[in-house]
Amino acid sequence: MLRDALIQAGMNAGLATFLDILGGVLVAATFGMAWVLFGIWIERKVAARIQNRVGPNRVGPYGLIQNFADALKLLIKEVIVPRNADRPVYFLAPVLMVVSVILIAAVIPFSSVVIGTDLNIGLLYVLAVGSLGTLAVLMAGWGSNNKYALLGAFRAVAQLISYEVPMVLALLIPVMLAGSLSMQDLVRSQHVWFLFVAPIAAVLFLIAAHAENGRAPFDLLEAESELIAGYNIEYSGMAFAMFYLAEFMHAFFVAIVFSVLFLGGWRGPGAETYPILGMFYLGIKSMVVYFVTVWLRLTVPRVRIDHLLALNWKIMVPLALANVILTAFLFKLVPTPDYSAARAIAEGEFTGVASGLYRLLGPEFVAMLPLAGVLLVGNIALLVAAAALLRWLARRRRQEVEALVDETEYAPGVAAAE
Amino acid sequence: MEITIELLVFLVFALLTLAGGLGVVLARNLFRAALLLLLSLFGVAGLFVLLAAPFLAAVQVLIYMGGITILIIFAVMLTRGMVRARNVFSEQWDLAAIVSLAFLALVVYLLWQLQQGSSAALFAAPPPEGGLENPIAALGAALVDPAQYMLPFEVASVLLAGALIGAIYIARDDEVE
């Protein structure tokens, strides 16, 4: 749009294209940051309500301007650099952290037409870019020249690397169902939301993404009630604020990516014909997911580091692997939905209940229902089996412990009686 | 030679790759060397994009930059006395020089052959069917096709499984019966 207007105004075509792309990049990059100012307000309000407080209410109506005041405060604060810090590394770390999150915005389909670039490897790109954040953590820990920061970075990286495994395995499921890595194709193939087709994958992804982001209950990186801070202990002023910004933006983008992958993205009534509606739907869906993550963050107690890693390697990874195998098997078992036949029925002559159903609910939706039903049942069965296995294991361990307690407790008594 | 945008971008990424590689060799601080290795790998990822192989580029970033380099950094940080390397030259520099010179000779020879046109056939293999519209699907099919890359793929899997078992064996507690 911008490109055509510029060319009409007599500008060189190459330059116009460049400016067009530059404009798109600027919008995509600032969108996240601008959002954060507002998103933090929501988060603080929700947090306050959950903790029976009022939250920000002084600056502006309902405290809406509070975050601008805070941002200004952080901007004018002095950035204190440790004397022996590795300066280039120290200053690059927060920048890399923010960049790794902002880059995700480039492939998010906000509506059927509004997308930065529809890469055919979109989802892989999201993962690749996200893995750069891990590096920023290590750089921050090292660059600060502080052994506590370094220790914090080690812990953080152990957590981030571990949780990448179940996340990738969980994301395989939507890719398998859609047969594509492109974000736009992933949205378009969700005639039935993938949340209902692959609930295990959805929950695993949400947990893993939460852990990747390092927010409560997985906030061991900077457990504020136990440590002063983690890898970012030596950062102050705006450098610190960038880590903070990256964390909030990441939480928000996780909500968007979840909505895109499992809640049908911009899909909704009329979204194909009026793309602006799609943005609206995606906004509502991601806000719901965002609310759930904030809710989790404020109500679930922090997990211990060994529990954190055990949860990942002993439960989530095996479950994700079993889920991949099961889904692949069921997906091959059920015949692929015949969308063109369904469309033909819906557009053909009205013959009875069947064609009425096709028209009412949309032909693709009805055509996908058998597949979705089988996969849903399979998922539930897998979940029940996993729960039964866990229960059996836990019971066996408890019996072992109790047997041990019996021996040690009653042995002295027996000796005294003799 | 005409200067196109592709050429400029290629030069930028080539420069990144080479400067990063040179930095890895010359840096005295091993941590910085690891970060410069990252820069070099990033340059290679950019070159993959220029070659219209975005999948390889993403994998390069995900596995080499996000995975392997982090493991290298971990190893560097856990190694005492590796932070301020006094000697820039490795003790095996003579061996390394022979190997790299041999590799350089090989690359130059190949390029020269290409210039002469005698080995053009080697590089002008036809793209796999459907590979241009959907490179990822073509790659996936090629990896499980017995006529193409199934054997190397399985060999690599066996190698990785062996490495995994070896790692478990080494890391295992000796006290466990």
Report pLDDT digits (tens) over A258-280: 999 998 888 887 777 787 888 88
Cβ–Cβ below 8 Å for B61 and A119: no
Which pLDDT score, from 0 to 100, does residue B165 have?
Answer: 93
Q: Which domain holds residue A197?
A: 77-315
Residues A158 and A225 in one domain: yes
Q: Is residue A243 part of a domain?
A: yes
Residues B4 and B44 in one domain: yes
Q: Which domain holds residue B142?
A: 132-172
Residues B158 and B100 in one domain: no
Residues A185 and A301 in one domain: yes
Write out residues 249-308 of A within 8 Å (CB-CB) of B: none
Find, among A104, A219, A85, the residue nearest to A145 by Cα. A85
Instruction: Compare all CA atoms of chain A with the CA of B29 and give the residue at the minimum distance.
Output: A86
Alpha helices in A77-181 (DSSP H): 87-102, 122-143, 147-178
Q: Is residue B177 part of a domain?
A: no
Q: Is residue B151 part of a domain?
A: yes
**In a 3-state reduction of DSSP, which class is residue A115?**
strand
Choose, out of B6, B74, B78, the residue to mutate when testing the contact with A (most A CBs < 10 Å).
B74
Using a CB–CB cutoff of 8 Å, tell me whether A129 touches chain B.
yes
Which pLDDT score, from 0 to 100, does residue B18 have?
Answer: 92
Residues A169 and A81 in one domain: yes
Distance from CA of A414 to the nearest CA of B (A): 32
Calculate helix-pair angle for A87-102, B30-50, nearest 10 degrees. Answer: 30
Identify the domain boundary among B24, B58, B85. Answer: B85
Could you tell me if A103 and A246 are in contact, meaning their C-beta atoms sit under 8 angstroms apart? no
Q: Is residue A55 part of a domain?
A: no
- In this prediction the pTM is 0.84
Residues B42 and B22 in one domain: yes
Residues B1 and B76 in one domain: yes
- If one counts the domains in chain B, the total is 3
Q: pLDDT per residue over B120-167, tens digit each?
A: 555 555 555 555 667 777 788 888 888 888 888 899 999 999 999 998
What whole-number percentage of chain B has pLDDT above 90?
21
Cβ–Cβ below 8 Å for A139 and B32: no
Provide the CA A10 distance to its chain's centre, in angstroms.
Answer: 44
Instruction: Compare all CA atoms of chain A with the CA of B78 and give the residue at the minimum distance.
Output: A154
Residues B54 and B12 in one domain: yes
Instruction: Give the separation between CA A272 and CA A284, rounded to whole angstroms.
Output: 17
Which pLDDT score, from 0 to 100, does residue A344 have?
Answer: 75
Choose, out of A124, A163, A172, A182, the residue to mutate when testing the contact with B (most B CBs < 10 Å).
A124
- If one counts the domains in chain A, the total is 2
Which pLDDT score, from 0 to 100, does residue A153 have?
Answer: 84
Distance from CA of B151 to the nearest CA of A (A): 22
Q: What is the DSSP string of B84-136?
A: S-S-SS-TTHHHHHHHHHHHHHHHHHHHHHHHHTTTHHHH-PPPPTTTTT-HH
Q: pLDDT per residue over B93-127, tens digit each?
A: 889 889 999 999 999 988 888 777 655 555 555 55
Residues A95 and A222 in one domain: yes
Residues A200 and A123 in one domain: yes
Which pLDDT score, from 0 to 100, does residue B176 have?
Answer: 54
Positions of chain A with pLDDT under 50:
418
Residues B15 and B63 in one domain: yes
